Structure 1
Amino acid sequence: MVNKDFDRLSTTLHALSDPTRRAILARLTLGESAVGELAEPFDMTLPAISKHLKVLERAGLIERGREAQRRPCRLAAEPLREVLEWVSDYRQFWDQRLDRLQDYLEKGKKRARKRR
């Protein structure tokens, strides 16, 4: 059985796995932007950018509006909080590993000083 929250997390992580989509999200941290403006720094067609935007929208990472002919996009950061919470579960694991590595290195330095 698939946990609905985990499935949403998988969708978010999939959307974040592409560097173009991450760059689009980074641009949207500066504020709302039209599709054409988002496409400018990339060497790809507008339909290709639109496909990336659809992936981001499906993951809930962006919201698209409509203002006459303009389709502004804006960041919707809530799914990023879910990723942060999931990743933070592993922080304690890495902190413990790094603490043990630090202890090991300090003991090695002490042994090296004693040999001198």
Structure 2
Amino acid sequence: MTAVAATASVFDALGDPHRLRMVVQLCDSGPRSTLQMAQSISLTRQAATKHLEVLQAVGVVSSSKRGRERIWTVQPQPLTDAGDYLNALSRRWDTAIDRLRAFVEND
């Protein structure tokens, strides 16, 4: 998978409000169980699991087994890569605006 495709899949996964809330919650609170995640955002355990599996598929979270419970943890690298991509895009936009401003001011 190319870097752009990987970043796009992260944005796609985070485009769902439930999944975005889950990631924010894991960032704020640290590792949590599936049940804790489900209860905190008013989802069934099954629905929470499906959302968490989508996030895991793109590398944003990982899970480990603790007894009968699955514990979820944020993996920061895909989020850092997505942030870097947005920053690069922002710099390109700023450059384009500067070129437009120079063009308009020289006209």
TM range (shorter): 0.7 to 0.9
Deviation at 1:51, TM superposition (A): 0.7
Question: Does structure 1 residue 16 correspond to structure 2 residue 17?
Answer: no
Query: Identity percentage over the alignment?
Result: 23
Runs of 5+ in structure 2 lacking a partner? 102-107
Aligned to 2:76: 77
TM-score using structure 2 length: 0.80
Distance 1:95 1:9 in 2: 21
Q: CA RMSD in A?
A: 1.9
Higher helix share: 2
Higher strand share: 2
Distance 2:87 2:18 in 1: 25
1:91-102 equivalent positions in 2, closer than 5 A: 91-95=90-94, 97=97
SS in 1 for 2:73: strand
1:6-85 equivalent positions in 2, closer than 5 A: 6-29=4-27, 30-85=29-84
Deviation at 1:4, TM superposition (A): 2.0
Distance 2:3 2:92 in 1: 22
Distance 1:43 1:23 in 2: 11
Distance 2:71 2:41 in 1: 18
- For 1:49, the aligned partner's letter is A
- For 2:91, the aligned partner's letter is Q
Runs of 5+ in structure 1 lacking a partner? 101-116
Max Rg structure: 1
